[in-house]
Amino acid sequence: SDSVYEVIPFHNAKGIAFDRHIKRLQKSCNSLSISANIDLISKEIIELINKSKFKDGYVYYQVSRGVDQIRSHMFNADISTETFGYVVEHTFESQSLKVMLCEDVRWQRCDIKSTSLLGNIMSMNNAKNSGCDEVIMHKDRVITEGGASNVFFASNDCVYTPNLSKNILPGITRELLIEKIKASGINVQEGSFKIDDLKDAKSIWLTSSTKGLAQVIEITNQETNIVVDHPLFLECEKIFKNNFLS
């Protein structure tokens, strides 16, 4: 899994926060010392969107170090980077999710958007087998993120989300949402939060490039006081959609 990837959503055939996604892809490549022609990659992603003729969707684009002569933990410096991408039609609809809490078993550099996703895959499929749609992960009861998303919750007219660290991917949707709801006067606090904080939360939601804002309606292995369609969640969802999906 010596590779990185990016998921670039688009609406009305235009990339959502395109430059931010490209910047994150460049950062991921730099973190793993993978040489990538970002200008060419940007052009290929735009070409995929344009040729698809889809109104709404996303592009998956992956950059790998390349093919070495033999499998080795120490790669040759002269191998050529390989890339591929594809486009998927996707409708950005509101989602309601059943989730379960699980211990975060992933590697220690989740801030890099790499394809080293075995921890996510194991946890997500365990949740699927239990009738859930997603997971909320934690390290020693401190919330990190979802299996393929960032975590938000609301209580006492304030929105909370775990602050960024090496255990959390800097989600683009997370970043956009925080900027826009802060600008609208909503109080947002980033910090270290425990799974016990979710018990009293009035609303919990997950964010990602394909989910947008997806509210959690149940945590199957913890009691909650969730109010479905809580006014603060609906206001945040409205702000996001008005800015990026209208």
Query: Which one from 23, 113, 211, 238 is the annotated catalytic residue?
Result: 113
Catalytic residue list contains 139: no
207's CB contacts (< 8 A; 6+ apart) are 149, 150, 152, 171, 173, 174, 177, 213, 214
206's CB contacts (< 8 A; 6+ apart) are 97, 99, 134, 136, 146, 149, 150, 151, 152, 213, 214, 216
3-state secondary structure of 48: helix
- Rounded Cα gap, residues 136 and 143, in angstroms: 7
Residue with tokens 């235009």: 14
Instruction: Enter the tokens of residue 26.
Output: 């460049």
Please count the CA atoms within 13 angstroms of the CA of 225 that sit on its side-chain side.
10
- Rounded Cα gap, residues 73 and 11, in angstroms: 40
Residues noted as catalytic: 113
